[in-house]
Amino acid sequence: MNLVRNPEDIFNDLVKQIRSIILTSRKKVYEVINNESLKTYWDIGKQIIEKEQEGNLRAKYGSQLLIKLSKQLTKDLGKGFSRSNLQNMRNFYVAYPNCQTVSGNLKWSHYCELLSLEDKDKRSFYEQESINSSWSVRELQRQIDTSLFERLLLSDGKANKQTVLKLSQQGQILETATDIIKDPYVFEFLGIPEKKPILEKELEEKLIRHIENFLLELGKGFMFVGSQQRTTLGNRHDYVDMVFYNKIIKAYVLIDLKSRKMKHADVGQMNTYLNYYKTEINEETDNAPIGIILCTSKDKIEAEYALGGLSNQIFASTYVLYLPDKEMLLKEVEDLLREEAEE
């Protein structure tokens, strides 16, 4: 028996199909245009380099070449050929001499940001992460500004040539609890003055109001479950400040916010939370929950003794309310690499 479909359902289905066709077509057109644009800018950069190497052009125009070229192209073709953009095209060819290594998943504005990084390993890392995590240009800028590359290298205190190479070639790979940890975390997006005291409740409220920025800082795979999540033992109720779930490593991540230096008692509290989640909340498919104590500072020796020998995975990381000192982080990485070379 054939059922007569409702005309309204037929119409809605028609709209859905047409919308799907149009959106798919637009995506394909965008991809073609983006790929052609990248290839065009690469070709322009190639032409500039090759003509410079002939010698005569450089001898006549010297450092004025791009200025003169910019004026002529703008006159002939309109906007898009400023001196800085032509310089980026030139650098684009130098950084990617093989056009096949250029990813169509990124826009020209992504590559302009990447070209500002002189270190090849660092540039490769941010390129891979932009592709893997689908970062917008603004998100890429933010991750560069907060020195994500250096912070990941320093998080486990084991920066070496192997970790630098792996990070630059593959981006951040999440396999274990340690892989999701940063130290420090950067909360510049909260807009809190550096010297202003802040209560833990206020910090939590601001993080919730800026949850998208917080998720970006936490990294890939994080989903927000909720704040002030209750645990009940007997007649006693306690509350976990913030709970997330990481879908990549399939584990709950519990965060305890501290507006002070870490104390060893904080570890005991987090350990209780993790035992509760392991027994009462976890499903069979979930891995062991992870605890992160976010504090303003920590004594490394005290943290080592407090966190050592635990069956649960607990980490103590600091946070800052401002952009980190890039030179200082870079020096720390270089010092660790130097120590490795001397061993």
> Which neighbouring-strand residues pair with 236?
233
**Predicted confidence (pLDDT) at residue 1 exceeds the cutoff of 60:** no
Cα torsion through 232, 233, 239, 244, rounded to 10: -70
Q: Can you tell me the distance from the alpha carbon of 259 to that of 319, in angstroms, rounded to the nearest whole number?
A: 10
Cα torsion angle, 201, 205, 206, 208, sign:
positive
pLDDT at 322 (0 to 100): 86
Please state which of the ranges 28-32, 104-108, 157-161, 224-228 shows the lowest mean pLDDT: 157-161
pLDDT at 316 (0 to 100): 93
Read off the tokens for 109.
């504005």
pTM of the model: 0.74
- Residues in contact with 164: Cβ distance below 8 Å, sequence separation at least 6, in sequence order: 121, 153, 337
Where residue 50 falls (left for φ over 0; alpha for ψ -120 to 50; beta otherwise) is alpha
pLDDT tens profile 63-105 = 788 888 999 999 999 888 999 999 999 999 999 999 999 999 9
**Predicted confidence (pLDDT) at residue 158 exceeds the cutoff of 60:** no
pLDDT at 341 (0 to 100): 60
**Predicted confidence (pLDDT) at residue 333 exceeds the cutoff of 80:** no
The type of residue at 307 is L
Host H or E run for residue 229: strand 222-233
The strands making up 236-246's β-sheet, listed across from edge to edge, are 185-186, 313-320, 290-295, 251-257, 236-246, 222-233
Host H or E run for residue 167: helix 161-170
pLDDT at 204 (0 to 100): 95
CA 331 to chain centre: 21
Exposure letters 223-262 (e unless 16+ CB within 10 A, then b): ebeebebebeeeeeeeebbbbbbbeebebbbbbbbbbeeb
pLDDT at 205 (0 to 100): 94
pLDDT tens profile 267-316 = 999 999 999 999 999 999 999 999 999 999 998 889 889 998 888 999 99
**Predicted confidence (pLDDT) at residue 159 exceeds the cutoff of 70:** no
Question: Tokens 């660092």 label which residue?
Answer: 122
pLDDT tens profile 216-265 = 999 989 999 999 999 988 888 999 999 999 999 999 999 999 999 999 99
Cβ 106 vs Cβ 130: under 8 Å = yes
Q: Can you tell me the distance from the alpha carbon of 66 to that of 239, in angstroms, rounded to the nearest whole number?
A: 61
pLDDT tens profile 162-216 = 666 667 777 777 788 888 888 889 999 999 887 778 899 999 999 999 999 999 9
Domains of the chain with CATH codes? 1-102 (no CATH), 111-179+325-343 (no CATH), 185-323 (3.40.1350.10)
Q: What is the mean pLDDT of residues 316-321?
A: 91
pLDDT at 324 (0 to 100): 75
